[in-house]
Amino acid sequence: MNKHGTVTGLQQVDPLCPTGLFWEISPLEHFRPNIKVEMHEWTSSLPPDKYEVSLTDTCLNISAKIRVLTDVPALLTWAPKFTVTSPFTSLPILIYSTGPFTKDNLVTAVEFFF
């Protein structure tokens, strides 16, 4: 802020920022027939160039690719909109990362902080 001397520009920040969503697959959901097909249909409305979808036997993770923070708000808007067609009974949990965030993510990470 130049109060006590020179101004230094930010090159990177390391705050805790949301980068995606996580759903735990309950044992009841896991044994439903065609649960994986339902999940693939459900997540197919997400742009594949922006989001990474990771499916295991116990969970589903959807994260912004390369942790592009500007794509996270669209994901947070998408999830409740498609809750009706969701194959899950549980609500999503936010996935956080501490960075480091640089370049295009720098301003977004600072906005998340404030």
Contact criterion met (CB below 8 Å) for 68 and 99: no
Pick the CATH number of 13-113 from 1.10.1060, 1.10.3470, 1.10.10, 3.30.70: 3.30.70
pTM exceeds 0.85: no
Q: What does the domain layout of the chain look like in residue ranges?
A: 13-113
Collapsing DSSP to helix, strand or coil, 26 comes out as coil
**pLDDT tens readout for residues 31-83:** 777 777 777 887 888 888 889 888 887 888 888 886 678 888 888 888 877 65
**Upper half-sphere CA count for residue 8 (Cβ side, 13 Å):** 5
